[in-house]
Structure 1
Amino acid sequence: MKNTAVEYLIKNPLLHIGMIETIHRDTADILYAESDGVLIKEEKSNAYMLSVDNFDIGKELINTISRCNLILSHQEFMVDYIIDRFKLNKKLECFQAVYMDKSKLIISEELEIKQLDKSHIEVILEHYGKLSKDRLFWMF
């Protein structure tokens, strides 16, 4: 099922990079993977991630989930149904950026890019108010 999931997701790697990386890290419970969509549950965060070709298959997959409080939909046409189905009260639209080139990115010496770890949680919370401290801990 892993190969089928990746085959579907790799058709649009920029859109699906979060799902692809979750599968590559082996933290994905792949609940559905066919030529029309993928539904996974990320094991550390318990977040569901969905990408589908059409509303009907998305609705069918969403209805297999008994309850959840965090779900990522890669298609806007699923959002209202998900919010209604799980009685969610928050919607957050996110945009990702991905550097796909194999060569090292040349940056200004004024800028330092490094891997985040638990020591950065307070700084993250100071500048980004969309996640709680508890939610950040599962990321590391």
Structure 2
Amino acid sequence: MEPAATLPRGLERYFSDDPLLHIELIESLRHGHGHVIDAGARGVLIRHGRSGLYMLSATDPAYGDHLVSQLPDDTRVLHVCQEWLADLAMAKRGLLGKMTCHKLVYLKKTPLVYEPRLRIRRTVPEEAGAIIAHYDLYDPDGLRETIRAGRLWSGYLGEQFVGFIGRHGEGSMGFLHVFEPYRQQGYAVELESFLTNLVLARGEVPRGDVIVGNEASLRLQKKLGFQEASGLVCWVFGRET
């Protein structure tokens, strides 16, 4: 991966040890969405301005504790590049949930070649009910907001709603779902290829997270040429009330 010219001094070296693992932090800074709250040779804390997401990485518990101490009291969602750091943040900040994922990144500059069979367009609010009924990895309000923001796309075969895919607020790809009657027919590949090419065309790096244990999705990403980071990333969320 080519170094991003807009990275603050010192961070390029930190990220260079594992750029795939840190791709969300790199892309947030490269596109001007990330604000560096703290950074040093042993870690970094970034706030993604568009989504309000906090992202952090550290090499050791002492510096990790230093970064976690700077999180606001109302922090609700974190993207963390080390699982031990996610556990530390949960303990220190009263966050209750953790989702551990493989990080997959498409580093090629060439678009994916596929046979277009679906009519793919931005999802409209009228489709929210069907999507909410079949996708339980995101809360209904979050799905409605994703639709309103224009970050979800629907695929149709004629008049039949086949599936959908989208982007999270920080830019990662996700939400991939194909309805039961249309599975095992290559439509997941088509939806994933469509969005990968769209992200490429916008000058961004296509990337996404696959929950540990979802081997089918992991195989799909690798089949399309996505590369896996050496370590796992974690999403941490949900506050004690």
Structure 1 CA distance for aligned equivalents of residues 132 and 92 of structure 2: 30
- 1:58 and 2:33 equivalent? no
Counterpart AA for 1:51:
S
- 1:107 and 2:114 equivalent? yes
Q: TM-score, normalised by structure 1?
A: 0.79
Aligned-pair distance for 1:71? 1.1
Structure 2 CA distance for aligned equivalents of residues 9 and 131 of structure 1: 29
Alignment-derived partner of residue 130 in structure 1: 137
Aligned-pair distance for 1:93? 1.6
Structure 1 CA distance for aligned equivalents of residues 122 and 108 of structure 2: 24
Aligned-pair distance for 1:69? 0.8
Structure 2 CA distance for aligned equivalents of residues 37 and 119 of structure 1: 41
Structure 1 CA distance for aligned equivalents of residues 118 and 12 of structure 2: 34
Task: Answer whether contact 2:43 2:59 (CA < 8 A) is retained.
Answer: yes
- 1:84 and 2:100 equivalent? no
Counterpart AA for 2:22:
H
- 1:15 and 2:40 equivalent? no
- Which consecutive unaligned segments of at least 5 residues does structure 2 have? 1-6, 150-167, 172-241
**Identical pairs, percent:** 25
Structure 2 CA distance for aligned equivalents of residues 126 and 15 of structure 1: 32
Q: Evaluate the alpha carbon distance shift between residue 129 and residue 109 of structure 1 in structure 2; reply closer, same or farther with a 3 A threshold.
A: same
Highest RCO, 1 vs 2 (Cα 8 Å, sep ≥ 6): 2
Does the residue aligned with 2:103 lie in a helix, a strand or coil?
coil
More strand by share: 2
Counterpart AA for 1:93:
T
Task: Answer whether contact 1:39 1:50 (CA < 8 A) is retained.
Answer: yes
Residue 95 of structure 1, aligned match among 89, 98, 102: 102
Structure 2 CA distance for aligned equivalents of residues 16 and 89 of structure 1: 23
Q: Evaluate the alpha carbon distance shift between residue 108 and residue 11 of structure 1 in structure 2; reply closer, same or farther with a 3 A threshold.
A: farther
Structure 1 CA distance for aligned equivalents of residues 134 and 25 of structure 2: 25
Does the residue aligned with 2:96 lie in a helix, a strand or coil?
coil
Equivalent residues, number: 138
Greater Cα radius of gyration, structure 1 or 2: 2
Structure 2 CA distance for aligned equivalents of residues 22 and 81 of structure 1: 23
Task: Answer whether contact 2:57 2:85 (CA < 8 A) is retained.
Answer: no
Structure 2 CA distance for aligned equivalents of residues 71 and 125 of structure 1: 23
Alignment-derived partner of residue 79 in structure 2: 72
- 1:31 and 2:37 equivalent? yes
- Which consecutive unaligned segments of at least 5 residues does structure 1 have? none
Q: Evaluate the alpha carbon distance shift between residue 102 and residue 51 of structure 1 in structure 2; reply closer, same or farther with a 3 A threshold.
A: same
More helix by share: 1
Cα offsets for 1:50-79 (capped at 9, x unmatched): 111111100111012232111111001112
Alignment-derived partner of residue 5 in structure 1: 11
Structure 1 CA distance for aligned equivalents of residues 82 and 109 of structure 2: 29
